[in-house]
Amino acid sequence: MAKISFGGMRETVVMRKEFPLAKAKKVMKNEVIAVIGYGVQGPAQALNMRDNGFNVIIGQRKEEKAYWNKAIKDGWKPGKSLFSIEEAVKRATVIQYLISDAGQMLAWPTVKANLKPGDALYFSHGFSIVFKKDTNVIPPKDIDVIMVAPKGSGTSVRRNFLDGSGINSSFAVFQDATGRARERCLALGIAIGSGYLFETTFQKEVLSDLTGERGVLMGALAGVMEAQYDVLRENGHSPSEAFNETVEELTQSLIRLVGENGMDWMYANCSTTAQRGALDWKGPFKKAVLPVFRKLYKSVKSGNEARITIKANSRRDYATQLGKELKEIHDSEMWQAGIKVRELRPENMNKKAAPAKKKAARKSAKKAKS
């Protein structure tokens, strides 16, 4: 396990070469892994582990037909590798609790009642454990409680696995009842296809994750995009021009350069005019949003964001309300412009052109025969 230093802090990072798949299989050779929930993270982690040769079963409520049928479509067999949540927990030695935070609260009495001494309870988010006063998810003392948190959506976890790159994940041990919690945790991190694993705690994962989602990764990104788009439109720029300058150039070009080698690399590969403007305006933007981020982090750390989430997600009409909020974004001019702009991407134009070309070729061949 590598020890690396950043900003005066030493961190533990585990690479695949240090904990290879063969070692993970050895650690988990007598384990049955139950993935509870076949919604977002569940399918990706379950399929990756199955492809890697681990003994995996699924626990899913049959009443949630979309998820149950998706599991069947992906090759899980009812009564053999696909069970109710209760039955899956009974059969497993590792329980990967991958349903939503609100769902974890509701299913916890069923899961807890069927845990056995020596089991490992695995999370991909520390929410339920850290905010236990609100969630009432309090594991018994005779089980391991561990976490592997991929830094991406389930779609990215699966896609990166299939292309061989893997996705970065954090890992943590909250409770070690067996003396094997850490090696189980690392083995599962490798099993799901992590590119590398970096150590954290349940609390730090939650605080950074909730801040990141509400901040740069989603909330701030959406808000900043909308603000720039609105200013461009207010000043007479067309929807297409405003969207391209706000979203398309970022997502299709610049962010890829940042991902390759960092922000300085992206700056170095832009025009001198862009460089100067970015460097001059970075400071004012940071000054403007730093108070917002401090307020956000305070709200996350106090548990306020968790309580808001639990209250909202527990409402019976949550799905309906969410649909309305997402539809409002979808129907906004900016994202309607985005639909049109994406249609004009060369790869999408080529897809549209392909059937027409085939039809023309068939017509030409038929004409030649006649």
* Segment 73-116, tens digit of pLDDT: 999 999 999 999 999 999 999 999 999 888 899 999 999 999 99
Strand, coil or helix: 113? helix
Is 70 exceeded by the pLDDT of residue 261?
Answer: yes
pLDDT band at 356 (very low <50, low <70, confident <90, very high): low
pLDDT at 161 over 90: yes
Active site residues: 125
Residue 352 has pLDDT above 70, yes or no: no
Which residue has 């139950």 as its token pair? Answer: 34
The predicted-structure confidence for 199-221, as pLDDT tens digits, reads as follows 999 999 999 999 999 999 999 99
Is residue 369 scored above 90 in pLDDT?
no
What's residue 9's pLDDT?
73
pLDDT of 69 over the 90 cut? yes
Average pLDDT over residues 184-202: 95
As a whole number of angstroms, the distance between CA 43 and CA 193 comes to 13
What pLDDT score does 7 carry? 67
Residue 102 host element (H or E): helix 101-113
Its CATH architecture, for the domain 10-200, is: 3-Layer(aba) Sandwich (3.40)
Under the banding of pLDDT at 50, 70 and 90, the label for residue 2 is low
Look up residue 345 and give its amino acid. Answer: R
Model pLDDT, residue 159: 94
Q: What percent of the chain has pLDDT over 70?
A: 93
What CA–CA distance (Å, rounded) separates 305 from 345? 38
Name the CATH superfamily, with its identifier, for domain 212-350: N-(1-d-carboxylethyl)-l-norvaline Dehydrogenase; domain 2 (1.10.1040.10)
User: In whole numbers, what is the pLDDT of the chain averaged over residues?
Assistant: 92
Dihedrals phi, psi of 97, to nearest 5 degrees: -90, 90
What confidence tier does 30 reach under pLDDT thresholds 50, 70, 90? very high
**pLDDT tier at 359 (50, 70, 90 boundaries)?**
low
Of the candidates 123, 103, 129, the residue with the CA atom closest to the CA atom of residue 45:
123
Q: What is the tens place of the pLDDT at every residue in 295-321?
A: 999 999 999 999 999 898 888 898 899
**Residue given tokens 């970065």 in the structure block:** 168
For the stretch 105-159, pLDDT in tens is 999 999 999 999 999 999 999 999 999 999 999 999 999 999 999 998 899 999 9
Work out the pLDDT band at 355, boundaries 50, 70, 90: low
| Sequence-ordered list of residues with C-beta below 8 angstroms from that of 51, at least 6 positions apart, any chain | 161
Buried b (16+ CB within 10 A) or exposed e, 117-132: eebbbbbbbbbbbbbe
Residue 85, exposed/middle/buried by CB under 10 A (0-12, 13-18, 19+)?
A: buried
Which residues partner with 172 through β-bridges? 147
**Strand-strand pairing, 9-15 and 2-6:** antiparallel
Give start-end residues of each CATH 3.40.50.720 domain in the chain.
10-200
How many Å apart are CA 167 and CA 228, to the nearest integer? 31
Closest to 111 measured CA to CA, from 175, 35, 38, 54 = 35
Q: List every span in the chain annotated with CATH 1.10.1040.10.
A: 212-350
Q: If you ran DSSP here, which 8-state letter would residue 262 be given?
A: -
Does the pLDDT value for residue 349 go beyond 90? no
* Predicted pLDDT at 12: 83
- Token output for 115: 């845990």
Give the span between the Cα atoms of 74 and 3, in whole angstroms: 39
pLDDT (0 to 100) of residue 354: 61
pLDDT at 70 over 90: yes
Q: pTM for this structure?
A: 0.84
Secondary structure E strands in 20-166:
33-36, 56-59, 82-83, 94-97, 120-123, 144-150
DSSP string for residues in 155-177? HHHHHHHHTT--EEEEEEEEE-S
Output the six-digit token pair for 294: 């401090």
